[in-house]
């Protein structure tokens, strides 16, 4: 097995692909006028949900509504090597992208606030932590948990398909950036290195705060540089040789997420072109050149055959030949996955209890009732650590 999911985390390429104006159309509020720490029960500054190199996350509630909980991400102060304008642009760019996204598999971003000179993003609170914590418990890798693994994989792909359809690439898909709600649904978070590869940046006035505006088919490429976490990075990004389309990176990372769901770890360390059995891109299963290293466990443990074939196409080392996320979600097998989350807020909701015998046939418009959490775990998880895990 390869290294753990957090190996190589923190490698952030925070260049902005667009030349953005100094003044975004972002409404900024004072944090403590609208939200408050949980002083009475949890100490002076409430409950810290995590702390990383770039931010810390605290549990807060809306004033006057103590049961209305939010995760508040406070950003680090400006580094001496960056200008105040560049520092604020990065924070406002991340916020305006996240705030424009509305999808069942994307964390909702509520407010941009300041508090004693620090910037804060107020976000939806996902009480069960991140997918890394869930995978670490070993529950999802157990025999008979295929339904859970396939459903979570489908939710990741649904969220990324929505992003790509609206001109946004995430660029840091990993277990730590996939959060689990109290009803065990999956949501994508952390848009700190996301890029608007097509259309108008949601932070610009002409976008009106919406994503997917002004898309005309033109694709803006990302400059060479490591972005994301090592086990999840596609070979064209690791090579750092030329500008790249960020969408195939998200497809590659999503396939790696599925491999973690199956094995509890990756089956190679990094996707580099090396004569090393632990690196990807040498020799595919059954000797097919240029796909994956020949790992017997891949053929044995990744089920069904349709999933193996799909992952191989998502992990093609040539980004031009890799499946797009639109192609992934439209494959015949993918459509048959029984999913407990709707693929858009526009879909009619018709819940099906997947535990019942008469609910085994999947069809369009049906939402299956799954609980992906281990027994007696529901309600006890903590959100992940920012920078290393989520938010």
Binding-site sequence positions for ATP: 73
3-state percent helix, strand, coil for the chain, nearest multiple of 5: 30, 20, 55
Three-class SS of 17-40: CCCCCCCCCCCEEEHHHHEEECHH
Residue 233 is classified by DSSP as -
C-alpha distance from residue 70 to each of 97, 124, 361 (Å): 19, 5, 37
For residue 371, give the 3-state DSSP assignment: coil
Q: Which residues are catalytic?
A: 172
Cα angle, residue 97 at apex, residues 93 and 102 outer, rounded to 5°: 160
For residue 228, give the 3-state DSSP assignment: strand
Helices 305-314 & 246-263, crossing angle to 10 degrees? Answer: 140
Question: Which string of b and e fits 275-309 if b means at least 16 CB within 10 Å?
Answer: eeebbbbbebbeeeeebbbebeebeeebeeeebee
Distance CA 177, CA 194 (A): 12
Can you say which residues are annotated as belonging to the binding site?
73
Distance CA 368, CA 370 (A): 6
Longest dimension (CA), the chain: 63
Tally the C-alpha atoms within 13 A of residue 96's C-alpha that lie toward its C-beta.
28
- Please report which residue ranges of the chain form alpha helices under DSSP H: 31-34, 39-42, 84-99, 131-136, 146-165, 235-238, 246-263, 296-301, 305-314, 325-329, 332-336
CB atoms near residue 134 (< 10 Å): 25
**Beta partners for 58?**
48, 72
């Amino acid at each position: 097995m390869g290294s753990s999911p957090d190996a190589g985390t923190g490698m952030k390429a925070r260049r902005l692909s667009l030349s953005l104006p100094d003044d975004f159309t972002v409404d900024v509020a004072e944090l403590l006028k609208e939200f408050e720490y949980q002083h009475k029960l949890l100490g002076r500054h409430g409950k810290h949900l995590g702390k990383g190199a770039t931010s810390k996350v605290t549990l807060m509630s809306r004033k006057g509504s103590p049961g209305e909980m939010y995760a508040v991400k406070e950003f680090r102060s400006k580094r001496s090597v960056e200008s105040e304008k560049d520092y604020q642009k990065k924070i406002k760019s991340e916020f305006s992208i996240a705030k424009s996204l509305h999808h069942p598999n994307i964390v909702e971003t509520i407010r941009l606030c300041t508090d004693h000179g620090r910037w804060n993003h107020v976000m939806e609170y996902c009480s069960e932590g991140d997918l890394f914590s869930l995978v670490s418990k070993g529950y999802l890798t157990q025999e008979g948990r295929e339904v859970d693994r396939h459903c979570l994989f489908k939710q990741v792909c649904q969220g990324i398909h929505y992003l790509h359809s609206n001109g946004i690439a995430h660029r840091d898909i990993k277990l730590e950036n996939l959060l689990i709600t109290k009803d065990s649904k999956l949501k994508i978070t952390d848009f700190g290195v996301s890029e608007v590869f097509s259309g108008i940046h949601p932070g610009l006035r002409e976008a009106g705060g919406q994503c997917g505006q002004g898309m005309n088919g033109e694709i803006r490429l990302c400059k060479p540089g490591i972005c994301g976490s090592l086990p999840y990075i596609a070979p064209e990004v690791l090579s750092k040789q030329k500008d790249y389309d960020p969408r195939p990176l998200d497809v590659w990372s999503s396939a790696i997420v599925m491999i973690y769901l199956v094995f509890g770890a990756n089956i190679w360390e990094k996707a580099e072109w090396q004569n090393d059995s632990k690196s990807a891109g040498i020799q595919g299963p059954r000797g097919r050149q240029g796909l994956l290293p020949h790992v017997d466990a891949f053929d044995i443990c990744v089920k069904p055959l349709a999933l193996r074939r799909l992952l191989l196409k998502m992990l093609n080392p040539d980004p031009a030949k890799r499946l797009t996320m639109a192609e992934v979600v439209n494959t015949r097998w993918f459509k048959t996955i029984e999913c407990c989350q709707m693929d858009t807020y526009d879909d009619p909701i018709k819940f099906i209890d997947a535990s019942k015998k008469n609910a085994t046939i999947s069809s369009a418009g049906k939402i299956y009732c799954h609980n992906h959490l281990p027994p007696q775990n529901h309600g006890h998880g903590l959100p992940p650590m920012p920078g290393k895990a989520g938010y």
